[in-house]
């Protein structure tokens, strides 16, 4: 039995496996510029974040109907459950769909179909986080938040993703203020490829409660002291960092040093279909390559539930935390 954990950094569009991409392409009459799933999988080699994003957005053309989004989320949840995921907070990128003519309602209600059955079918509780694309204009993010109005009962938080460098958090001040006024929780990608200053800015200007990645935190000792003092969770994604070359190798990943510094780290998969593994695979990789012991692994699992948006269901959080403490490693 795998260690129970929450997944807090997962882009649902990044769970599109090559085989499923071909199935959906056939169902929707979309031509993919690859002979088959094997050839597509061989294209999953990246130089940096942008080279990944180019393929990630291109492949989304196969996602068109509510059923497609429901099938995508259902496949992820089934797979996550086998890796010990008990709770998943799932990102989606509405603008990546609305800009190619798929309505926001199709995306949210399709995902919701899978999410509302997830607990009964997979034993995984869920939350939905709507991300804004930071390389699109701030006005587009505001329009997206407005369009989400009828679906806000499905959405727990807003996030910020896509190309980071050159798109500092401050660009999204107004939309984050509007989201907070609507009662939405706030997270943002920061310090993945971008500088530690973007992490500070996301906290100060956007009022985020968690930092997605935060990989470059250690470059700024004052920031580290603050993140430790304020118990700001970081949602790290080790296999993603290796595939996007934000770290030289998994062995060189700063996770052990970050834990030693007292940071509230969690381990997540980001875009598992593209980066070689789901949440449990990321845990296995850091255990094997970084030599994390049982105490550290249990701490990572505990942190994932402490950092989860479960404030409306503290009983559930306590139950999950008890599962972590009761777990025996094999
Ligand atoms: N970084 C930024 N944006 C993203 C990512 C990522 O790893 N995955 C999907 N959108
Ligand atoms: Zn991400």
Structure confidence by residue, pLDDT tens digits, 277-320: 999 999 999 999 999 999 999 999 999 999 999 999 999 999 99
| CATH number of domain containing 92 | 3.20.20.140
**pLDDT (tens digit per residue) in 79-126:** 999 999 999 999 999 999 999 999 999 999 999 999 999 999 999 999
Q: What is the mean pLDDT of the chain?
A: 98
Q: Which two tokens stand for residue 94?
A: 């509405």
Distance of CA 330 from the midpoint of ligand 2 (Å): 31
If we measure between CA atoms, which residue out of 306, 263, 303 comes closest to residue 283?
Answer: 303
Q: What total number of domains does the chain contain?
A: 1
Backbone angles phi, psi at 90, to 5 degrees: -105, 125
- Full residue range of the structural domain in which residue 203 is found: 5-326
Backbone φ, ψ for residue 186 (5° rounding): -130, 130
What DSSP assignment string belongs to 283-306?
HHHHHHHH---HHHHHHHHHHHHH
State the angle between helix axes of 66-82 and 18-28 in degrees (0 to 180), rounded to the nearest 10: 160
For residue 10, the CA-to-ligand 2 centroid distance in Å is 6
Q: In what order do the strands lie in the sheet with 125-133?
A: 5-11, 85-92, 125-133, 157-161, 185-190, 210-213, 233-236, 264-267
Return the number of other C-beta atoms located less than 10 Å from residue 286's C-beta: 22
Q: Please state the atom number of ligand 1 nearest to the C-alpha of residue 93.
A: 10
Neighbours of 327 (CB within 10 A): 18
- Confirm or reject: Cβ of 94 under 6 Å from ligand 1: no
127 CB within 6 A, ligand 1:
no
192 lines ligand 1 (CB under 6 A): yes
């Amino acid at each position: 039995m795998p260690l129970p954990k929450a997944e807090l950094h997962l882009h649902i569009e990044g769970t599109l496996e090559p085989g499923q991409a071909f199935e959906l392409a056939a169902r929707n009459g979309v031509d993919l510029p690859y002979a088959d799933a094997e050839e597509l999988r061989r294209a999953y080699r990246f130089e940096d974040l942008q080279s990944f994003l180019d393929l990630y957005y291109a492949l989304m053309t196969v996602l068109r109907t509510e059923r497609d989004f429901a099938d995508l989320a259902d496949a992820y949840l089934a797979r996550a459950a086998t890796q010990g995921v008990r709770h998943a907070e799932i990102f989606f990128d509405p603008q990546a769909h609305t800009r190619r003519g798929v309505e926001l309602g199709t995306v949210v209600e399709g995902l919701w179909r899978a999410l509302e059955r997830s607990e009964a079918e997979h034993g995984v509780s869920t939350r939905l986080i709507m991300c804004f694309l930071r390389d699109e204009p701030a006005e587009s993010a505001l329009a997206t938040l407005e369009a989400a109005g009828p679906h806000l009962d499905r959405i727990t938080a807003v996030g910020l993703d896509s190309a980071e460098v050159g798109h500092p958090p401050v660009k999204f001040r107004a939309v984050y203020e509007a989201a907070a006024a609507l009662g939405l929780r706030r997270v943002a990608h920061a310090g993945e490829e971008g500088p530690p200053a973007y992490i500070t800015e996301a906290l100060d200007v956007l009022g985020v409660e968690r930092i997605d990645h935060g990989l470059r935190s250690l470059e700024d000792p004052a920031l580290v002291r603050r993140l430790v003092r304020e118990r700001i969770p970081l949602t790290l994604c080790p296999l993603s960092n290796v595939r996007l070359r934000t770290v030289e190798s998994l062995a060189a990943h700063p996770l052990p040093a970050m834990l030693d510094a007292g940071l509230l780290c969690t381990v997540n998969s980001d875009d598992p279909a593209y980066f070689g593994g789901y949440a449990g695979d990321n845990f296995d990789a850091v255990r094997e390559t970084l030599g994390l012991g049982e105490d550290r692994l249990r701490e990572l699992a505990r942190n994932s539930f402490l950092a989860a948006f479960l404030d409306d269901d503290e009983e559930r959080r306590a139950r999950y935390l008890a599962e972590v403490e009761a777990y025996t490693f094999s």
